[in-house]
């Protein structure tokens, strides 16, 4: 742990100048799809277009859209022809452009789900292996052979690529991201998504599948308005099946990755999610670390933390690591009042009927200018209560304990409340 902390602090000194340039404006991300959205009759892009106004109502600044390319899986996470946006199960290229244009008209930037760790071949090579890739264009862009596959991916590789620089991915060929030609081709494709399709930023799927140093190359080569990576590692658990109180290794892994990737990319704060969904089950003492800070990435590098309650993997119809369903609004009361960049999930906002409750919390955040670097003062924490003040202007209480004693100043008034949560604003 000492080595991890030292490495983190050293990287932090290198990137602090980048943090000083960050905008103080409120940023709210909205995940604009669930796991089964690809099955929507008439196309998901066309359906979502009708909901843009309601999404804007929550003060959303960025919307994360599903993988846009042709894919073996309907959800888009086993892509093949990256330039082919007409074969997506969410709709065609024209539908996507129209959706992005509608979001832009409502002041919302669009984030593409970038799935480049792996790629599915569309043809077989001489060995009968599906490892020949087509880009989806007549000019040969992103037309690759097995040389572009990591050589330790023995199921598909011809043995000529580099060793995998990250975690293995069994479901499809692992692309060799140390190959400079692959890097150039992928950067060109992402810039095409910006200039020709209208995307503004990136969400990188399975970002731990290649080196953070490569991610830095992609960030520098595409200059996104917003970018976040998925680094989903296992937390440490005790014999009771609950997360251990100290999750420093987990959150410092996220922090070190973000710094190694250049310091400007954000990471989904899986540490905060894991701790928060345990805390709301009557263990709110978990929401402060031994130094009085928030216990996730949020507590050590909030500028790079994207907090969330669930997504298409953890929740939706997959339910791989779901937040307690009866406590979801406590989760939103936390992330929408705290530093970092909060992400609202489509399923919760629309399918679960939480539109008004979430929008009210988001309005408090926007009204008071709470942003990724806001100050956090944890005032009380116990099994049945958590109270914190943000920027000296907003106070949030979580937990079933009704009485908060003298913690709330007389010049603070209730802004919104719900089952086991309340938020006050300074008047």
Query: Could you list the active site residues?
Result: 205, 230
How far apart are the C-alpha atoms of 315 and 320, rounded to whole Å?
Answer: 6
Q: Which of 76, 213, 45, 69 is nearest to 134 (CA)?
A: 69
Phi then psi for residue 418, to 5 deg, are -160, -165
- Report how far residue 16's alpha carbon sits from residue 289's, in angstroms, rounded to the nearest whole number: 23
CA–CA separation, 171 and 257 (whole Å): 24
**Residue in 90, 50, 88 with CA at minimum distance from that of residue 71:** 88
* DSSP code of residue 322: P
Per the listing, tokens 């050293």 go with: 10
Q: Are 115 and 207 in contact (CB under 8 A)?
A: no
CB 372 within 8 A of CB 400: no
Region class of 156: left (phi > 0), else alpha (psi between -120 and 50), else beta: alpha
Listed as own residue / partner, the contacts of 311-318 with beta carbons closer than 8 Å and 24 or more positions apart are: 311/31, 311/268, 311/343, 311/345, 312/31, 312/33, 312/34, 312/35, 312/75, 313/35, 313/232, 314/273, 315/345, 315/347, 316/34, 316/35, 316/36, 316/347, 317/34, 317/35, 317/36, 318/35
**DSSP tally for the chain: helices H, then strands E:** 12, 15
Query: Bridge partners of 65?
Result: 112
């Amino acid at each position: 742990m000492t080595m991890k902390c030292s490495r983190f602090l050293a990287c932090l000194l290198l990137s602090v100048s980048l943090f000083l340039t960050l905008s103080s404006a409120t940023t709210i991300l909205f995940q604009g799809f669930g796991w089964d959205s690809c099955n929507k009759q008439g196309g998901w892009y066309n359906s979502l277009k009708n909901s843009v106004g309601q999404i804007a109502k929550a003060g959303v600044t960025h919307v994360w859209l599903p993988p846009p390319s042709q894919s073996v899986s309907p959800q888009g996470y086993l892509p093949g022809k990256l330039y082919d946006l007409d074969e997506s199960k969410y709709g065609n290229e024209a539908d996507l452009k129209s959706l992005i244009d509608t979001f832009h008209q409502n002041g919302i930037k669009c984030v593409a789900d970038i799935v480049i760790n792996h790629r599915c071949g569309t043809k077989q090579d001489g060995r009968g292996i599906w490892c020949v890739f087509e880009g989806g264009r007549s000019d040969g862009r992103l037309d690759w052979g097995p040389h572009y596959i990591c050589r330790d991916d023995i199921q598909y590789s011809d043995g000529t690529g580099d060793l995998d620089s990250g975690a293995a991915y069994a479901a499809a060929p692992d692309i060799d991201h140390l190959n400079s030609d692959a890097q150039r081709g992928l950067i060109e494709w992402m810039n095409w998504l910006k200039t020709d399709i209208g995307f503004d930023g990136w969400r990188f799927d399975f970002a731990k599948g290649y080196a953070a140093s490569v991610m830095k190359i992609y960030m520098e080569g595409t200059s996104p308005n917003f970018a976040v990576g998925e680094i989903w590692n296992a937390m440490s658990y005790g014999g009771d099946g609950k997360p251990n109180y100290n999750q420093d290794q987990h959150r410092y892994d996220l922090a070190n990755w973000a710094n190694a990737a250049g310091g400007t990319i954000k990471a989904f704060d899986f540490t905060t999610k894991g701790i928060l969904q345990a805390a709301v089950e009557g263990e709110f003492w978990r929401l402060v670390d031994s130094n009085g800070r928030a216990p996730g990435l949020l507590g050590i590098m909030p500028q790079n933390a994207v907090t969330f309650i669930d997504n298409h993997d953890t929740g939706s119809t997959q339910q791989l690591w779901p937040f307690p369903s009866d406590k979801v609004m406590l989760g939103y009361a936390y992330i929408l009042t705290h530093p970092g960049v909060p992400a609202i999930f489509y399923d919760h906002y629309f399918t679960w009927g939480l539109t008004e409750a979430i929008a009210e919390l988001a309005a408090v955040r926007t009204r008071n200018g709470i942003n990724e670097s806001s100050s956090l003062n944890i005032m009380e924490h116990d099994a049945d209560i958590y109270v914190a003040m943000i920027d000296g202007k907003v106070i949030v209480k979580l937990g079933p304990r009704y009485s908060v004693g003298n913690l709330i100043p007389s010049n603070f008034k209730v802004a919104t409340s719900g089952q086991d949560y309340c938020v006050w604003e300074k008047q």
